[in-house]
Amino acid sequence: HKEYRRQRQMCIRDSCKTGKVVEAETILREMMNQGIVPDNVIYTTLIDGFCKMGNVAAAYRLFDEMRGLNIIPDLLTYTAIICGFCLTGKMVEAKKLFHEMLGRGLEPDEIVYTALIDGYCKAGEMKKAFSLHNNMVQMRLTPNVVTYTALADGLCKSGEIETANELLHEMCRKGLQLNIYTYNSIVNGLCKAGNILQAVKLMEDMEVAGFHPDTFTYTTIMDAYCKSCLLYTSDAADDT
């Protein structure tokens, strides 16, 4: 049975890696029909696979099922399901599982905190995002470039461009290697706030830092220029 379970576990893992999660669950059902009880690793692999596909309902069904079989979810299981809820914007469910995880004595890592911060930022709940960022630092966990990019993006979308710029400088001071997503988030925010010249300056900084502006960068700036020209034309027409 041990050897059979190991082989099935490998098949499930390989199927999930290639996005064949439904087929992977079929293997799980075949195992169970033969009286072989799956373990935490098998359930966590499937939960993670469904979450990455965006099918959090299926992932949560498996999460409930494993608990019903007295198979205890561990840090990796909670991480997978919390990340899945955050990616699909289900922050109430993500928060509930986060507190459940804490109640079980499991210590969340940078991945869990960053997923929650990103989820709250996308939902425009910046106070909750920064509260988690502060908790993260108190837990002696180090926010990474993904964490800061999520915060910068959230701030820009909330119109807090100056704070986002300060965050950018903080990242640089901490020696964090900025990525194209960080720059694009702030370029997008600056354009939406009408600070096109500042956005162009940041695009030049990107190139100095060794990043090539991509389609998103150029489209964002061109779109902002077009909108400002239309506004200018409209204002000029009103004045005549």
Q: What is the pLDDT of residues 165-223, one digit of tens each?
A: 888 888 888 888 888 888 888 888 888 878 888 888 888 888 888 888 899 999 999 99
pLDDT at residue 233 in the model: 54
Using one digit for the tens of pLDDT, what is the confidence trace for 7-65? 888 999 999 999 999 999 999 999 999 988 889 999 999 999 999 999 999 999 999 99
Higher pLDDT, 192 or 233: 192
pLDDT above 70: percentage of residues in the chain: 95
Q: pLDDT value at position 237?
A: 46
Residue type, 113: Y
Spatial CA neighbour of 178 closest among 141, 139, 152, 215: 152
Give residue 56's identity as a one-letter amino acid code.
V
Q: Which residues contact 49 (CB under 8 A, 6 or more apart)?
A: 15, 16, 19, 21, 24
Asked whether the beta carbons of 82 and 111 are under 8 A apart, the reply is no
Q: How many CB atoms within 10 Å of residue 2?
A: 7
List CB contacts of 230: < 8 A, sequence separation 6 or more: none
The pTM assigned to this predicted structure is 0.83
CA–CA dist 48, 108 (Å, integer): 16
**pLDDT tens digits for range 88-121:** 999 999 999 999 999 999 999 999 999 999 999 9
Distance CA 48, CA 78 (A): 10
pLDDT band, very low/low/confident/very high, at 240 (cuts 50, 70, 90):
very low
Q: What is the pLDDT of residue 147?
A: 93
> What is the Cα–Cα distance from 7 to 9, expressed in whole angstroms?
5
